[in-house]
Structure 1
C-alpha cells in the first residue's frame, strides 16, 4: 500500500540520517495501525447503479484507505461513500475545488441512490 511505501521511505531516510551522526532519530508508531474499513456492499451497489444511470462513462469505483468519518460510522451502521472529482485532482488542500456541474451530478447520484434504497424497502 501507499502507507507501507511511505513508511519504508521514512525508515530509509532515518537510517541515512543516523549513519551521518551524531544525533540519532527513531520512528515510533503513534498507535495501532488503522486498517481500511469496508463500506456496506448494498449501499455501494445502489451508489454504483445510480452513478451508471446519472453519469454513464464518467464514474468509477474508488477504494479509499484515507481516514474518513464513514470509516468510523461503518463500525456501527451501514455506510457508503460517494466522491465527486476535484478540479486538477487537488484534494485535502486549501486549493481544493469542485466544478458546480460535478457537485450537481454528485447530488443527483446521491438522490437517485436514496430513491433506489427507499423503493427497495417499500
Structure 2
C-alpha cells in the first residue's frame, strides 16, 4: 500500500488523460493533485514535501523536461516520472540527464506507473 502522506502531482494538458490518471492512482490509494499544464504547477505556492510528479512530455506551454529543469532551478527536487507517446534514445538520455526517475511510454502497461511511483517515493 502507498504511503498515505505522499501526494502524486499529475501535470498533463489533456483533461481526459488527467482524469484517467487520477482515477487509476486513487484506486491504488494515492492522494492525487491535478495540474492542467506546467504553468499551473509552477504557480503552486505550496507543493507537498512528500510527493512525486507525473508529467506528460508533450505540452504546449513547455515540454516536460523543461518543466523539470524549471523546478530544479527553483531547488524543487521532487522525483519526476515522465510519460510520452514516443520514447527514443535521445529523449531517454535527456530525461536521465535532467534526473527524471522513470520515462514511461504510452500506453502504460498494468502496474508500470504505480511501480515507478512507489520506487520514486521510496527514494529508489
* Pairwise TM-score range, normalised by the shorter structure: under 0.3
TM-score (norm 2): 0.23
Larger radius of gyration: 1
The structure with the largest helix share of the pair is 1
